[in-house]
Amino acid sequence: ETGVTQSPTHLIKTRGQQVTLRCSSQSGHNTVSWYQQALGQGPQFIFQYYREEENGRGNFPPRFSGLQFPNYSSELNVNALELDDSALYLCASSPTVGANTEAFFGQGTRLTVV
Amino acid sequence: ELKVEQNPLFLSMQEGKNYTIYCNYSTTSDRLYWYRQDPGKSLESLFVLLSNGAVKQEGRLMASLDTKARLSTLHITAAVHDLSATYFCAAIPMNRDDKIIFGKGTRLHILP
């Protein structure tokens, strides 16, 4: 167990709806990253938050947004859901930013859009 | 832009055999990771390789890194059924500290 917890574990939404996924980072970690993993693919970087500010973003449209709270937990919000948003969403926490730190992944949220 | 390619993408092998998974990356990277993922589960960190010539071993798995060739390998010795999983190679782009770039994964199926 990594100490990174995500909720909910499974979710079914209808196309066009909005969804919020949550992540509690490991104790002492101030950096949270979000990844999308489609079936049969490797995870794709969505964005990273460091001390409540966005620190970097991947190639995802603006309807993917995030937030980090003072306790360093984080939310991923997706608006106007599309069928292709169906995936496993992984949260990873790190002690800080920088290439020399290791990321620890949560168990993921399986989102199905119908 | 950094790209990570693994091969093979699918591997079925008998218990007791040896095999190697290859990971090529397209541009210089600060570090190379290997992860394991069981079906429906999250990613488990196996190895972090930082420098040219780095070799790490854990049980029947051994990972190595050749930064000049931009190649990492994950070698499986005397495979056992419990090693059946998907293995991902991943790297961090130079001058970026935010994202990890993953390969597509190698789905390993070990037959008893």
B67 CA: distance to closest CA in chain A (Å): 16
**Residue linked to tokens 């993953």:** B102
Q: What is residue B11's predicted lDDT score, i.e. its pLDDT?
A: 93
Of B98, B102, B104, the CB nearest to A48: B98
Note whether B90 contacts A42, CB cutoff 8 Å: yes
Nearest CA-CA partner of A24 in A103, A106, A111: A106
Chain B contact set for A42 (CB, 8 A): 4, 88, 90, 102-105
Q: List Cβ neighbours of B74 (8 Å cut-off, separation of 6 or more).
A: B20, B21, B23, B34, B46, B47, B61, B62, B63, B87, B89
What distance in Å separates the CA atoms of residue B29 and residue B2, rounded to the nearest whole number? Answer: 8
B9 CA: distance to closest CA in chain A (Å): 10
Q: What is residue A98's predicted lDDT score, i.e. its pLDDT?
A: 67
Model confidence over A78-109: pLDDT tens digits?
999 999 999 999 999 988 776 567 788 999 99
Question: What average pLDDT score do residues B33-40 get?
Answer: 92
Q: What is residue B39's predicted lDDT score, i.e. its pLDDT?
A: 87
A107 CA: distance to closest CA in chain B (Å): 5
Q: Facing residues of B71 across strands?
A: B24, B66
Question: What average pLDDT score do residues B90-102 get?
Answer: 83
Of B4, B48, B96, the CB nearest to A56: B96
Note whether A43 contacts B102, CB cutoff 8 Å: yes
Within an 8 Å CB–CB cutoff, is residue A20 touching chain B? no
Within an 8 Å CB–CB cutoff, is residue A99 touching chain B? yes
